[in-house]
Amino acid sequence: MSLTPLNMHGTRFGRAVEHPSLADATYVARRNLIASRACGHQVGEPSPAVSYSEEEHATWRTVHAALRSVQDDWGCPQVLAAREAVPVPPDRVPQHEEISDRLDALSGFRFTLAGGIVPNKRFLGAMADGYFHAVQYVRHPAMPLYTPEPDVLHDVFGHGIHLADPVFADLYRTVGQAAARVDSDDALDLISRVYWFTLEYGVTRTSHGPRAYGAALLSSYGELSRFARAELRSFDIDDLVRLPYQVDGYQPVLFTVDSMAHLADILHTFLDDFDEATRDRRNLPRLADRGFMNRPPIPR
Ligand SMILES: [Fe+2]
C-alpha cells in the first residue's frame, strides 16, 4: 500500500508532509507489510498476530507513559474510568485479539482488521454489528508523540478505551445503525462529520473545565495537552456540518457537550431515525453545495 494517501490523514495529527515516516523506506516497508495483511480481510475474522520488534515495543512504552499522564490531566472522568477496564500493557504492543476479548466481555465490541483507509459505509456500518476497524502498525520511532495517520496506539488509547464503556459502545452502535440504513455519499458524509466532531474530537464541560472524550484527542499527546486553546463551541449539528475541515495541524474548532448524557441525547436524537431524507428535512447542505470544503479524512 502506498503511503501517498496518508496525506489525506494529515489533518488529524499534524503536518504529515514533514513526518519522517514518509521518507523512511525501511519504515514504509514495515508499515505496509503489516497493513497488507488486511487485504481480503472480512469483518469479524480474527486479526492475525503481529510479531512486533523491540523498537516498536519501545515506541509503545514511550507513548504509553506520556499519554497516561496527559490523559490524567485532560481526559473526561468517564474516559478515565473506562481506561481502567482495558488491558493496556505499559511495556509492549498488545495484540488485537487480546484487546478484543476484553472489550467483547465489557461491551460486545471487537476490533476488526484495517490496513488503512476504509470506505465510510464499511467503517461506520460495521459498528452496528459491534466491530471497529483498527490497524496494527506502529508510528515512526523518531516521533513517538506525533503521527500523521492513526496507528495501533490511536486505536487502543482512543477507541479501545471508549469501547470498554457500554455507554460509549452504545453510541458507536448508534452511529453504525444509522450508517447501515443509508447508502448515498451525502448521507454517509453527514454521519461521518457528526462522528468526527464527537467520538473523534469531542469535548465535554466538567466542573474542572473542558475535558476531552474524543478518541483522536485522547490518543494525541500534543493535541490533548492543548485542545483547550482551540475555539470551543457549543455542540450544534447545523454549525459543524458547514465547518471546513482543518487541513494542516490541529483542529481549530471543537464542539462541546454538557455531559456524556447530553452527548447520548444528541446522537440518539439525530441518528435514531436517520435516513436518506434527513439532510433535506433539516435543510443541511449537500456535498456538491460545499465545494469549498475539504472532504474529511476518512476515519478508518
Ligand atoms: Fe479514530
Q: Cα of 207 to ligand 1 centre, how many Å?
A: 27
Sign of CA dihedral 39, 122, 76, 254: positive
- Range of lowest pLDDT (7-11, 131-135, 272-276): 7-11
Between CA 244 and CA 251, with CA 246 as vertex, the angle to 5 degrees is 115
* Residue 205: pLDDT band with limits 50, 70, 90: very high
Asked whether residue 300 is assigned to any structural domain, the reply reads: no
55 pLDDT higher than 50: yes
Q: Cα of 201 to ligand 1 centre, how many Å?
A: 9
Span 118-141, average pLDDT: 95
7 pLDDT higher than 60: no
Question: Rounded to whole angstroms, how far apart are CA atoms 163 and 168?
Answer: 6
Q: How far is CA 211 from the centre of its chain?
A: 17
Model pLDDT for residues 89-111, shown as the tens digit of each residue: 999 999 999 999 999 999 999 99
How much is the pLDDT for 243?
Answer: 82
Which residue out of 9, 96, 159, 162 is catalytically annotated?
Answer: 159
Which residue out of 47, 200, 220, 223 is catalytically annotated?
Answer: 200
Number of domains forming the structure of the chain: 1
Q: Cα of 169 to ligand 1 centre, how many Å?
A: 14
154 a catalytic residue: yes
Asked whether residue 120 is assigned to any structural domain, the reply reads: yes
Model pLDDT for residues 63-92, shown as the tens digit of each residue: 999 999 999 999 999 999 999 998 799 999
Q: Cα of 42 to ligand 1 centre, how many Å?
A: 20
Q: Cα of 132 to ligand 1 centre, how many Å?
A: 10
64 a catalytic residue: no
61 pLDDT higher than 80: yes
51 a catalytic residue: no
Which residues does residue 253 pair with via DSSP β-bridges, in sequence order?
231
Asked whether residue 298 is assigned to any structural domain, the reply reads: no
Domain boundaries, position 232: 4-290
From residue 225, alpha-carbon distances to 122, 188, 208, 218 in Å are 32, 31, 15, 9
Asked whether residue 16 is assigned to any structural domain, the reply reads: yes
118 sits in the region (left: phi over 0; alpha: psi -120 to 50; else beta) called beta
Model pLDDT for residues 253-292, shown as the tens digit of each residue: 999 999 999 999 999 999 999 999 999 999 998 875 554 3
Between CA 285 and CA 290, with CA 286 as vertex, the angle to 5 degrees is 80
Asked whether residue 142 is assigned to any structural domain, the reply reads: yes
How much is the pLDDT for 87?
Answer: 75
How much is the pLDDT for 52?
Answer: 98
Span 3-32, average pLDDT: 60
Nearest to 110 by CA among 63, 172, 56: 172
219 a catalytic residue: yes
CATH code for position 10 = 1.10.800.10
